[in-house]
Amino acid sequence: MKTIKILMLPVLAGILFMLASAASSLTKEAERLRSASTVVTDFGAMKENIPQELIEQSKGIVIIPRLINAGLGIGGKRGRGVAMVKLDDGRWSDPVFVTLTGGSIGPQIGIQSVDLILVFRHKSVLTRVKNGDFTIGGDASAAVGPVGRSTSANTDYKLEAEVYSYSRSRGLFAGISINGANLSIDKDADAEYYGRDMGTRDIFETAKSNTEAVKALKESLRNL
């Protein structure tokens, strides 16, 4: 009996390790969702925020908490976040995990962390991603979004850009160029959170996740 217990120890250790790893991955993705929810709530609390009309007419949104924007002659940016689209009934889909990366050349120095929200006029840009990514400003035209409680002043969002960007640093809007940046689907994160049987299209087409992190994110968008 003692021998059997000794032999079982490595097996139990392996099981515990796998459970701990799975819990760690789930926590990491849930934390990304919670951070995205906080970003949306913080944007909504700002005096000059994203116009309500634009949110109502939008069909997709990308939220990147703590995007790192750095430069020393050659600049670069990278951040992880989530993308969501509106379903036919007006509800937001479950979030798909995404990564944004980009670079630039020019006179720049320093590093900053910004919260970024991208508002999409059409959801097809997100739902029909080719090979898991696309270039903002190339595959989808982009512009800095208008701010204020109403869109009635100085905006042409209905006619031109496909994507409107909003970046926030230390509680204030911060200008940051996203043209040329690449937005890609984080398939590993999706698989960790939803399971291997859920593809990107499946996630975008549903709103059935009941996790607390997803529900909190959807609630923050409804209140934006």
Judged against a pLDDT cut of 50, whether residue 216 lies above it is answered with: yes
pLDDT reported for residue 175 = 62
Domain boundary assignment for the chain: 10-222
Burial 41-72 (b: 16+ CB within 10 A, else e): bebeeeeebbbebbbeebbbbbbbbebebebe
Q: How far apart are CA 86 and CA 92, in angstroms?
A: 5
**66 contact partners, CB below 8 Å, separation of at least 6:** 35, 79, 113, 114, 115
pLDDT reported for residue 70 = 67
pLDDT in tens, 60-110: 999 999 988 765 555 678 899 999 999 999 999 999 999 998 865 544 455
Q: Mean pLDDT throughout 44-73?
A: 84
pLDDT in tens, 149-198: 554 444 444 547 888 989 887 655 556 777 788 899 999 999 999 998 88
